Amino acid sequence: MLELKNLCYTVDGKEIIKNISATFDDGFIAITGPNGGGKSTLAKLIAGIYTPTSGQILLNGEDITNMSITERAKKGISYAFQQPVKFKGLTVKDLLTLAAGKDTSVNDACNILSEVGLCARDYINREVNGSLSGGELKRIEIAMIIARETAISIFDEPEAGIDLWSFKSLNKVFEKMHDKINGTILIISHQERILNTADRIVVLKNGELINDGSRDEVLPKLLEGTEANINTGSCSVLQD
């Protein structure tokens, strides 16, 4: 269980995250809201990329507020960037082995790649570099998180920079993860297709938590446009 207690984050005198308190249990949780609302910042605070100005972050009752991203990863938190990192000189199998923290057989690697819709024969020995498309890199990054089997998996706007076909395929991957996960999936997104899969939706605006509830409670208000913009069509994100 992840707990945020009175979390604040200020940069150059500007409050980006304002006194957010929330508890995230197991399940699929979507965090949404207008651009500039603090969603990605909150994800990076949870992952340990940023350190909060004040407040606490607890993981299963342990204070991890001042732990580094590496220490949090060891505790069971995974983070997928909006723009996946390229690893020149490393193959897809190399990355899956590193993610799993143990030697990964070709058969295991193939099974994981198939879960994200990639043909293992074509990808297992591919170098993770600029020859891969944005959609391919996203899937490989998700495959790494599946290989890690962490308690908390964070995806920061996974739809950013990919084509519609890839996005539809990725959404199926998240649905499959949701069905089998024994932990927490946190996805930062504006996309109705993703929000419609979530168990719970958290809405941020201007750095504040303005709504938090089940999909059935929160999504109708979002679709009415009474709280924050979401995208029901293409992969481009609506502006605040």
Tokens 């304002």 — which residue? 18
pLDDT tens digits, one per residue of 89-147: 888 888 888 888 777 788 888 888 887 878 777 888 888 887 887 778 888 888 888 88
CATH code, residues 2-81+152-237? 3.40.50.300
Rounded to 10 deg, the angle between the 164-180 and 134-148 helix axes is 10
Predicted confidence at residue 125, as pLDDT, reads 85
Predicted confidence at residue 140, as pLDDT, reads 83
Of residues 33, 125, 132, 47, the one with CA closest to residue 81: 47
Q: Can you tell me the distance from the alpha carbon of 97 to that of 114, in angstroms, rounded to the nearest whole number?
A: 16
Predicted confidence at residue 235, as pLDDT, reads 31
Backbone φ/ψ region at 168: left (φ over 0), alpha (ψ -120 to 50), beta: alpha
Domain boundaries, given as residue ranges, for the chain: 2-81+152-237
Across the range 11-37, mean pLDDT stands at 93
Bridge partners, residue 79, by sequence: 154
Across the range 186-203, mean pLDDT stands at 90
Residue 209 predicted with pLDDT over 50: yes
104-131 burial: b if 16+ Cβ within 10 Å, else e: beeebbbebbebbbbebeebbeeebeee
Q: Can you tell me the distance from the alpha carbon of 40 to that of 80, in angstroms, rounded to the nearest whole number?
A: 11
Residues 123, 140 contacting (CB under 8 angstroms): yes
pTM of the model: 0.82
Predicted confidence at residue 57, as pLDDT, reads 97
Predicted confidence at residue 236, as pLDDT, reads 31
Bridge partners, residue 9, by sequence: 17
Backbone angles phi, psi at 140, to 5 degrees: -65, -40
Place 234 in a pLDDT band, splitting at 50, 70 and 90. very low
Of residues 85, 112, 79, 75, the one with CA closest to residue 97: 112
* Two tokens, residue 43: 């994800």
How does strand 200-205 pair with strand 27-32? parallel
